[in-house]
Amino acid sequence: MRVDAYEKVTGKALYGADRVLPGMAFAALALARTGRGRLISVDTSAAAAVPGVLAVETHFDLASPGFVMGGGFGFQSLQPMTDDHIAYRGQPIAIVVAETPVAATEAAEAITAEYEDEPTALHLDSEGATTLVQEEAIPLPFLADLKVGDADAVIDASPVTIEGTYEHPPQHAVPMELNGGVVHWDGDTLIVHEGTQNANALRFGLAQQLGIDAANIEVRSPYVGGGFGQKNSLLVHIGPLALVSKRLGRPVKLVLARTQTFHNGSFRPASRQRIRLGADETGKITAAVHEVDQQTSRHDLFPAMHTETSARLYGLSAYRGRQRLVQTDVQTPGYMRAPFESPSMFAFEQVVDELAYKVGRDPVELRLANDTDTDPISGLPFSTRYVADCLRRGAELFGWSGRNPEPRSMRADDGSLIGWGVAIGNYPCNTAATNATLTAGEDGRVTVAVDGHEMGQGIRSTIALHVAQDLGIPVGDVVVQVGDTTVGTQHLTAGSWGTASALPSVHSGLRELRKHLDVADTGDVEVAPAVAAVGHAVTVHADSVGPGQPADALAQSMTGHLAITGPEYPGFVTFSWIAHFVEVRVEPTTCRIRVPRVVSVADCGRVASPVTAASQVRGGVIWGIGAALREESMVDDRFGGFVNSTLEEYPVMVNADVHSIDVDFIDKPDYRYNPVGVKGLGEVSMVGAAAAVANAVHHATGRRHYRLPIRIEHVI
């Protein structure tokens, strides 16, 4: 059940740029064509001469929004068009506003510029790329290297050792909804319609940039056409758009071209993952070392958190993580679904697969033998951890017992090599502070306004279902309002904490509502008669913070800042878990790799919304296959930036690539974590999926791949 399905398929759901306002003008961006340097001059004369052009602006008086992971509100701290510094290819150098989108685009393309070029460093190993030790560069406790015992010594003393270095390319999220929206002013009030996962950061970030009161800014984002992390903070086009709209006295719409989103939004940075494991002869892992170099920009330190998950995957007695940041000449990278967890599991779970071969043990058996109830780092118990159940059920559904472990041993009727691979994944369960306002109306309908953003994952459906089940009313009688700063706070929805953060405050709001309606604390409620007995509509407020989270987290959230806690809580640690089983077929003459079937079983606590949950897992698995076999943002070594910045040349998985994906859930509530028993799901869905594909390719072909993506030319 998806409560907004009807609105979506009939086109009634309004996304950011869908607004059509009287007198609306259209904007377009002109982008820098050099990778780094100084802007000497911009020639806007040809642009200004295009019929219908209203304004061509190259400079704005805008403060930095600050970097979202540095206490600010922006996807990066650098605000283009405020000085002559060019930090990356594709950085905006001018904005054009015209009567039509065609005129604006034509004018933007007519803008030329002169630059004084400086040398660029674009790769992890480029000359001039600066490598920093993360825990020294960003001295925050949660970014310190994770260590327990003397992992190097334990590995050296172990009878079996194995290591591997894996390269993960930069990748871009390409949400269906392009970045952009409509801004307009109503007197002194700025109104922003833009697809975002973090309406409150836009509000407070724009207040900081423009030097106005946040009380005078409204951000509306009731629907987002895919976020994936790229829309988790203030993007650089919105501040300039607000200023030109004010100057012209007209609403202005800007929708970035797909190719522009490759430089005016964050991306998954390149990383190198070195894994070293020690084990006994049975494959029981004794210790692990995980060393990571991750790309960042010159102007911001995008923190790496790869080791947070690998440290918790198995029952280790010793572990050493080390993360370094490599400063390169790009826009600031950012979060992209399972930002660290997917790359790190791609590496870690292939090394575990190699270990299984080395000790001659089935890879499912080996993983089960390394299961644990205790977090190796903190020594605390996991609140719930059913990854062994995921493995057992997945193996059964997949028919894993029919696997011949010998590589290249299984063939299809057409001669294709068949490979079966397995991998597990985990994802930290963080929790955000949230506010909820519930209103029971005289018509019997219940309206719920709560922190959250609907970006296709189905949070609106999940909330509606929870309220309907609690009160025993039809889902159609529940109205859910999210993503709108005029009805609530709208803390960032990301990191798979949306459902597990919103539902607890909705849940306590429901208890409150029942009190005010003078009905029992549980059981079905006749809402309209209860409201009639009170004599008027009833509104209640409730909030919730994560376990052990200080109450001032709510104040942080209400001022547009991050207010999250986890995955380590007082007395326990919480992660979501998944096991993926993948079949690949490698056609022997063309070496084309197909993925005919996948079985994925997840432990996300109680499944709050079965339809949207299964859909999340399918999406994550599809993306994992894409990461394994297709996706790579190709660096343009001549001019900086990314050269395959279109959907033609940045191939994502399409329907024709996707065959059977069976999804199942363990569905056991985690009441220690929160009163609704729900953990996160969206991102864990993808974690380990690329590794399972790579392990299947190894099983099919006998070859291990240390770099993604794995394409025909690598298998041939």
Cβ of residue 74: shortest distance to ligand MOS, in angstroms?
A: 15
Task: Kindly indicate which of the ranges 221-229, 273-281, 503-511, 530-538 contains the residues binding ligand MOS, using the contact rule CB under 6 A.
Answer: 221-229
Does 339 participate in binding ligand MOS (rule CB under 6 A)? yes
Instruction: Give φ, ψ of 714 to 5 degrees.
Output: -90, -20
Closest to ligand MOS by CB, 330 or 422? 330
Beta bridge partners, 7, equal: none
Closest by alpha carbon to 23, among 87, 97, 94, 92? 97
The DSSP 8-state label assigned to residue 359 in this structure reads: H
Does 495 participate in binding ligand MOS (rule CB under 6 A)? yes
Closest to ligand MOS by CB, 497 or 577? 497
Give residue number: closest CB to ligand MOS: 229
Closest to ligand MOS by CB, 462 or 695? 462
Q: Residue with structure tokens 């159940």? A: 389
Does 227 participate in binding ligand MOS (rule CB under 6 A)? yes
Does 335 participate in binding ligand MOS (rule CB under 6 A)? yes
Task: Kindly indicate which of the ranges 287-295, 332-340, 540-548, 592-600 contains the residues binding ligand MOS, using the contact rule CB under 6 A.
Answer: 332-340
Whether residue 567 has a cis bond before it, omega within 30° of 0? yes
Closest to ligand MOS by CB, 337 or 630? 337
Strands 85-86 and 434-440: unpaired
Listed in sequence order, the residues at least 6 apart from 502 whose beta carbon sits closer than 8 Å to its beta carbon are 434, 436, 450, 451, 452, 459, 462, 463, 482
Cβ pair 73, 204 in contact under 8 A: yes
Cβ of residue 336: shortest distance to ligand MOS, in angstroms?
A: 5
Site for ligand MOS in 161-200 (CB under 6 A): 197
The one among 98, 318, 336, 628 contacting ligand MOS by CB under 6 A: 336
Cβ of residue 197: shortest distance to ligand MOS, in angstroms?
A: 6
3-state secondary structure of 381: strand
Closest to ligand MOS by CB, 681 or 697? 681
The one among 232, 307, 644, 674 contacting ligand MOS by CB under 6 A: 232
Counting Cα atoms < 13 Å in the Cβ hemisphere of 141 gives 3
Closest to ligand MOS by CB, 339 or 376? 339
Closest to ligand MOS by CB, 166 or 497? 497
Which value, to the nearest 10 degrees, does the dihedral of the CA atoms of residues 476, 477, 483, 489 take? -160
Task: Kindly indicate which of the ranges 164-172, 331-339, 346-354, 418-426 contains the residues binding ligand MOS, using the contact rule CB under 6 A.
Answer: 331-339
Instruction: Give φ, ψ of 44 to 5 degrees.
Output: -105, 5
Does 225 participate in binding ligand MOS (rule CB under 6 A)? no
Supply the angle between the helices 610-629 and 459-471 in degrees, to the nearest 10: 160
Does 303 participate in binding ligand MOS (rule CB under 6 A)? no
Cβ of residue 637: shortest distance to ligand MOS, in angstroms?
A: 28
Does 459 participate in binding ligand MOS (rule CB under 6 A)? no
The one among 238, 242, 325, 494 contacting ligand MOS by CB under 6 A: 494
Q: How far is CA 595 from CA 489, 592, 629, 693, 703, in A?
A: 43, 10, 10, 8, 17
Tokens of 93: 């150098």
Using CB atoms within 10 Å of the CB of residue 139, give its burial: 0 to 12 exposed, 13 to 18 middle, 19+ buried. Answer: exposed
Number of residues that bind ligand MOS (CB under 6 A): 11
Closest to ligand MOS by CB, 151 or 336? 336
Name the site residues for ligand MOS (rule: CB under 6 A): 197, 227-229, 232, 335-337, 339, 494-495
